[in-house]
Amino acid sequence: MLFRFRSLIVYLCFSILMLGIFTACTETTPEATPTEITQPEVVETEESAPSATYTPYPTYTPPPTQTPYPTYTPKPEPTATPEPTETPEPTATPEPTEAPAATPKPASPSTPLENTTSTSTETEGAEPVVNPPTNTNTGNVDTSNWALEVRPDPNPSPPIGVYVSGNQKFAGDQHRLAGIIRNEGDETYTGFSLIATFTMYIDEDEPSRRYGPVQVNCQCLILRPGQECPFILEVTSRNLRSVFFHPEAYSTERVSSFTDVTVTGSYVDAIGYVHLVGNVQNPNPFSIMNTTVNGVLRDANGAIVSMGTYMILETIPGYGSAAFDISIKHAPYSSYEVYAQAEQ
């Protein structure tokens, strides 16, 4: 009986164990639901950038106004009271006598390529003139074959004499007028300009028409009293009848210096121009500058037929010298002459 009881207990225990194992095997294990880990939301707080504060531009402050220097007021100088001028007693006027006719100097024979320097041609026996008229011929120039009538300047201003030595007409109504100007005043003059004005014949209804003014080639730098400078003009026009020359210049405090000009030779270049070569000597103890050398060709009658100019740019020291080479357009000639001007 006890054995049965024990067997029953064992059987119950075994049944309970098997039931537990079966229950454990058939029971569905619930799926694990993933738990979402929620991180705490970090709220980033943007620090708003501070808005730019408007800074105004600096106010422009103008510089202080310059106070002008006081104008110098010269002290008035006492004016000297001029002494009374004595009135000269009238002198007896001598009876006029006839002046002898002017006897011109005989023209020196022209020698080709002769070394000449600038000299004045004077007329012996001529009556002195206080205000010498312009546009008179030089020396014994024959005016009988002149192409144009040379009339006096209707408005003479500076004391500059104009002396025509060449007045020719060529084929094709081409005219050539040449000569010299001379300072006939008591002061040194500069700023020279020479203007030619013509009259021309059209017909009986218009017998005199003005032609010009025309600028003349006159390369004069500075002229002291009595000094000369050549000029030349070539113009082409029909029916020209007369001409007058008007010089312009003004007095100056600049000092015209003496020079010694020596022509050492001449030659003709490949295009036919005549060249005069030589030296300008400064005989002064001081330097000279702006030296201008004009060379002219003259025909057998002494008339200027062509002209050229050479400028010496460098300063010539005291007792020094400088070379020149003047180029002159060729024309039939018998002699040549050079003129030089310089200033201290």
pLDDT at residue 26 greater than cutoff 80: no
> What do you get for the CA distance between the two ends of the chain, in Å?
174
What domains can be seen in the chain, in order of their start residue? 131-253 (2.60.40), 257-344 (2.60.40.3230)
Alpha-carbon gap, residue 217 to 294, rounded angstroms: 11
pLDDT, one tens digit per residue, over 148-197 is 999 999 998 899 999 999 999 999 889 999 999 999 999 999 999 999 99
Read off the tokens for 210.
């003005």
Residue 104's pLDDT is: 35
- Contact assessment for residue 306 and residue 333, using Cβ atoms and an 8 Å cutoff: yes
Reported confidence tier of residue 122, pLDDT bands at 50, 70, 90? very low
pLDDT, one tens digit per residue, over 179-189 is 999 999 999 99
Give backbone dihedrals phi and psi of 18, rounded to 5 degrees, phi first: -65, -40
- Contact assessment for residue 297 and residue 305, using Cβ atoms and an 8 Å cutoff: yes
Average pLDDT over residues 118-141: 38
- Report helix, strand or coil for 13: helix
Q: Could you tell me which of 103, 167, 101, 169 has the C-alpha nearest to residue 137? A: 167
pLDDT at residue 121 greater than cutoff 50: no
- Mean residue pLDDT of the chain comes to 76
pLDDT at residue 59 greater than cutoff 80: no
Q: Sort residue 283 into left (φ over 0), alpha (ψ -120 to 50) or beta.
A: alpha
Alpha-carbon gap, residue 181 to 90, rounded angstroms: 38
Reported confidence tier of residue 275, pLDDT bands at 50, 70, 90? very high
Average pLDDT over residues 103-109: 35
Amino acid type, 279? N
The 3-state secondary structure of 211-232 reads EEEEECECCCCEECCCCEEEEE
Average pLDDT over residues 92-98: 42
- Tell me the residue ranges of DSSP E strands in the chain: 103-104, 123-124, 149-150, 160-170, 174-183, 189-200, 209-215, 222-223, 228-236, 240-251, 260-268, 274-281, 289-298, 304-312, 321-328, 335-343
Alpha-carbon gap, residue 129 to 231, rounded angstroms: 24
Beta-bridge mates of residue 163: 180
Compare 2 and 283 and report the one with higher pLDDT.
283
- Report helix, strand or coil for 93: coil
pLDDT, one tens digit per residue, over 296-321 is 999 999 999 999 999 999 999 999 99
Compare 156 and 45 and report the one with higher pLDDT.
156
Q: β-strand 304-312 against 289-298: which pairing, if any?
A: antiparallel
Q: Of 15-19, 68-72, 78-82, give the range with the top mean pLDDT.
A: 15-19
% of the chain residues with pLDDT over 70: 62
Alpha-carbon gap, residue 134 to 181, rounded angstroms: 9
Give backbone dihedrals phi and psi of 86, rounded to 5 degrees, phi first: -75, 135
Calculate the CA 92 to chain-centre distance: 58
- Of the listed ranges 65-79, 87-101, 269-283, 301-315, the least confidently predicted one is 87-101
pLDDT at residue 324 greater than cutoff 90: yes
